[in-house]
Structure 1
Amino acid sequence: MRLIQQLIHQAVPDLNGRTFERRSARGIIVDGTKILLIYTERYNDYSFPGGGVAENEDLIVGLHRELAEETGASRTKVLQEFGYIDEYRPHHKPEYDLIHMESYFYVCEVDCDFENVQPEDYEIANGSYPVWIDIAEAIQHNRKVMANQEPSMGFSIARETIVLELVERELLGKASAV
């Protein structure tokens, strides 16, 4: 799978130290100019549905599980690999210095039913829920949050916005307005 980009958070002085390794699988689901994303009130951002996979869990198996939980997907068909982001950022637990996150993105078709969403407790606490939104609107929203450096801004917004812009260019054949 192609490497989309490597991101190293500004608060990470170097890549040495106690590192927590994490892999995630995320779905890219488009319908015309609409894209299925997760809006999170706590961070005021849009992100791709999906999430962490267990240490020995297959990425595609984890993707199916995550899409079912977050979007109520009863059927997921992976159409193609899209790419991955290799990311280093600070870890919030004292036993680690940083987290190394590999986020794998797949173009998918799903039958989703928002009535069957099964969020985890932290997703409920963060106010996360699935939405269909115009991709340009989601990109513009995330860019504004980053430009304003909103205090609630999470670490993942840069990763998600980079991939949203690439999806818009490559899958929808548009260039984002700057």
Structure 2
Amino acid sequence: MGLAVLAYSGWLLEFFLPTGVSPVHDPVEALLTGPPVFRVLLAVSGVAFLLAGPPLHRLGPVHWTARLSSISVSVFGVVALLQAAYPEQSDVLSLLATVVLTVGVISLILWWPPGWRALAVAGLVIVLVTWAALVLARQLDTAEGVVSRFQQVVRAVLYGVGGAYAFIKPAPRHAPRGG
């Protein structure tokens, strides 16, 4: 998960590389048509998210809500791979990524313990507010770049929190096998 979040945050390189993309007006997805480093980093993050799902599947409790959480991580990886491969479809794929993230966060709310659950609820609120702000920014044709970059930060932070939970929580205990 750490590599996935780090590579997903690769868009921050725009502040160090000449891109011709306005961080204020152009959506962050516009970087995918610029220097290839942005598509490569998004593809790396996609592979890392995709591969993070199965180990998370094993770490979580054995019920559908926890399974949905790990599956949503892998599906998010597939969406990131598609976005890297087809940058011209970024609007639709970015919306799909938001839907996948929302489903994943809702599934966390259903099974995380109370303290962590509060983080997931706050994360869900932030995801929905950010999505609404992005829709509004696009409609008003103002600051879409700023809002889309904030959305990227929110996604990375939420996946980072999810990775932290998987790292910090105690490993599941299995009943001893009798013979």
Q: What is the TM-score normalised by the length of structure 1?
A: 0.29
Q: Which has the higher helix share?
A: 2
| Higher Rg of the two aligned structures | 2
Q: Which structure ranks higher in relative contact order (CA pairs < 8 Å, sequence separation ≥ 6)?
A: 1
Q: Which has the higher strand share?
A: 1
